[in-house]
Amino acid sequence: EVQLVESGGGLIQPGGSLRLSCAASGFTVSSTYMSWVRQAPGKGLEWVSVIYSGGSTYYADSVKGRFTISRDNSKNTLYLQMNSLRVEDTAVYYCARDLCSGGTCYYNWGQGTLVTVSS
Amino acid sequence: QSALTQPASLSGSPGQSITISCTGTSSDVGGYNYVSWYQQHPDKAPKLMIYDVTNRPSGVPDRFSGSKSGNTASLTISGLQAEDEADYYCSSYTSSSTLVFGGGTKLTVL
């Protein structure tokens, strides 16, 4: 059974850094496309970043240069390093596994981890 | 990376059909057959309902169908049921190798 479990969220001051983790089971993270998607309180979904099976990475303009997506194949875990955090980064962050082999649709989702950026 | 345009809300009675539109540009919706639709109930993770414009993942009822014309994609739910009440989001691959979501549509089943 495929399972994704996020962790690492919490309360952080503006300008601070946080690293989110997404532990995967039931499949191999390095063999597929994985994304981070966030949802601000009461708002819609916002795509954040993707890492391809081949290692290429892409980011939304809103996080480019501040966030870094990576994976640890030995731990079968996806990460999101978030630096220079802003109040507007406050959201539930979901990791998701691609179904379409192109990073274009996401079938498996974690439960989400809440990041709150506030002074 | 502007969000795709969806109606903020829609409503329908049980048994009726409704259609949610999702409008983008030639750089996203119109340029690729990589439109997906997600259903999200309160405090739950999104659920994939349609991918690659018209395809349904295993387990999704055939009451849900997708289509696209030009820069606008659509999700149609026929035979509306109470459990269909949720938020619906479209997404599309873009020419920048990124993904963009729509603003979401709140569906109310009267």
pLDDT in tens, A4-63: 999 999 999 999 999 999 999 999 999 999 999 999 999 999 999 999 999 999 999 999
Residues of B in contact with A58 (CB under 8 A): 96-98
Per cent of chain B over pLDDT 90 is: 98
Q: How far is A116 from chain B, CA to nearest CA, in Å? A: 17
Of A59, A61, A94, the CB nearest to B45: A94
Residue B33: HSE in the Cβ half-sphere, 13 Å Cα cutoff: 6
* CB within 8 Å: B99 and A104: yes
Q: How many CB pairs under 8 A join A and B?
A: 73
Q: Is the pLDDT of residue A99 over 90?
A: no
Q: Is the pLDDT of residue B35 over 90?
A: yes
Q: What is the mean pLDDT of chain B?
A: 96
Q: Give the model's pLDDT for residue A102.
A: 79
Q: Give the model's pLDDT for residue A101.
A: 74
Q: How confident is the model at residue B2 (pLDDT cuts 50, 70, 90)?
A: confident
Residues of B in contact with A61 (CB under 8 A): 1
Spell out where B1-110 has E strands: 9-12, 18-23, 35-40, 47-50, 64-69, 72-77, 86-93, 99-101, 105-109
Helix, strand or coil, per DSSP, at residue A88 = helix
* CB within 8 Å: A112 and B57: no
Q: Give the model's pLDDT for residue B22.
A: 98
Q: What is the DSSP letter of B23?
A: E
Q: Is the pLDDT of residue B1 over 80?
A: no
Residues of A in contact with B99 (CB under 8 A): 35, 47, 50, 103-104
Spatial neighbors of A108 by CB under 8 A, at least 6 apart, are A2, A4, A96, A97, A99
* CB within 8 Å: A104 and B104: no
How far is CA B69 from its chain centroid? 14
Q: What is the mean pLDDT of chain A?
A: 96
